[in-house]
Every structure is written in structure tokens, then in C-alpha cells.
Amino acid sequence: MAVDASDFLPEQLDLEALREAARDCRGCDLWKPATQTVFGEGPQDAAMVLVGEVPGDREDREGHPFVGPAGRELGKALEAVGIERGEVYITNAVKHFKFEERGKRRIHQRPDAKQVKACRPWLRAELDAVRPEALVILGATAAKTLLGSAFRLMAQRGQPLESDLAPFVVATIHPSAILRGSDSDSRQAQRELLTEDLRVAAEAIAARR
């Protein structure tokens, strides 16, 4: 049995070939109950890559990343800093929806470290294909797996990070944190954090031009 996604990588490492090959990935056990692989999307020459955690229920059914409520928040935050969603490459640390069935509902589950590690060859290949100027890491799960388990999101968000993943790397809150806010003030406060950190990345890209 495969221990990670590397057995499934295509010979040619452009985005189209990667996306095609990822459909049949069996690099961990998450493919089985899920509907389909949700690969990253966006232009190959995107200056910014954003990486989330794992597709949700909507993403699993539709086959596209960040098309549910969290994606709507992300789109609004990008727009607030003058970036169109279509200009950036959006993906996830793990490409299959992980869930637990409760009656008719499928409840999102956080991928474990082994699953994120197994899926890592896809993310690595996406970053190699796009070679963005800035990488934005969304949420603590993705941040800890990409930057090390000592990473503390709320202490380090919005700051340029030392990493070989991209010339400029920054981490911010996951857009679903906004949705979990208990009232409109706390949701607004979370929205502002996300927007602030995206602005840091947007300015870093502008400064490199």
C-alpha cells in the first residue's frame, strides 16, 4: 500500500498533469469515503498562492476549493485588498474531504499529521509549478504542518516568515474562523485580521515589482 502521494505524481509536473493525476491518488485513506479529489485552482503564473486545510462538504461535492461559506469570506477579504479571486492560486494542504457522518450530515474533521504529510507531495508540486512570490497559509493546521509544530498562529500571524516555500510567506487565520464567531462584532474582528494579513502579502508582492 502507498504511504504517501509521491507514487501518484505524474512525470510532467505542470498543473494540468498534476490535477489529472491527483484524481486517482490513493496516498492515504481519505480518498475512499470522499466524492472526489479537490485539487488547487488558479493561474499557473499566479503571484500569490493561498493554502487552506482540507476541502469541506461543498468542495467535496463540487470538486473545487473554497466554494462554500469559508470561500465566500476569503473572496471578500481578497477583494478588500484589491485582489481578484481569479488571479490567485487557491489550494489545500489535504486534497480530500475528511468527515464523520452524523445522520444525514457530514461533519468536517481535521486531518491528522500523517494525512497532511501523505498529501504533501501534491502541495510541493503545486508550489513548484506556480512558484508564487507570496504564499499565504490559512489557519493553524496548515501553518503547523508547513512551518513546524512550534508555530503559534495568533502570535505570528501577519509577520513575514522564514521559509523555503516561497520568497514571501505569511500565515493568517482560516476564513472559517470568521464563520465560527459568536456574534457580528467577533465575526467582524476576525474579518479584519484576515484582511490585514492578506494586505501584508499583497504589499510584499507589490514591493517586489
Bridging pattern class, strands 99-102 and 105-108: antiparallel
78-106 burial: b if 16+ Cβ within 10 Å, else e? bebbebebeebbbbbbbbbbbbeeeeeeb
User: Does the footprint of ligand SF4 cover residue 190 (CB under 6 A)?
Assistant: no
User: Does the footprint of ligand SF4 cover residue 95 (CB under 6 A)?
Assistant: yes
Cβ proximity to ligand URA: between 134 and 173 the closer is: 173
CA pseudo-torsion sign 7, 11, 14, 18:
negative
Conformation bin of residue 131: beta by default, left when phi > 0, alpha when psi is -120 to 50: left
User: Does the footprint of ligand SF4 cover residue 74 (CB under 6 A)?
Assistant: no
118-132 burial: b if 16+ Cβ within 10 Å, else e? bbbbbbebbbebbeb
Cβ proximity to ligand URA: between 106 and 167 the closer is: 106
25 binds, among ligand SF4, ligand URA, none (CB under 5 to 8 A by kind): ligand SF4
Closest approach of ligand URA to the CB of residue 39, in Å: 11
Which 104-143 positions form the footprint of ligand SF4 (CB under 6 A)? Answer: 115, 118-119, 122
56 binds, among ligand URA, ligand SF4, none (CB under 5 to 8 A by kind): ligand URA
E-assigned strands of 118-199? 134-138, 168-172
Cell numbers placing 174 = 482560516
> Given the rule CB under 6 A, which residues bind ligand URA?
52-56, 59, 65-66, 68, 70-71, 92, 176
- Number of residues binding to ligand SF4, judged by CB under 6 A: 16
User: Does the footprint of ligand SF4 cover residue 27 (CB under 6 A)?
Assistant: yes
In the complex, the residues that contact ligand SF4 under the rule CB under 6 A are 5, 22, 25-28, 30-31, 37, 94-96, 115, 118-119, 122
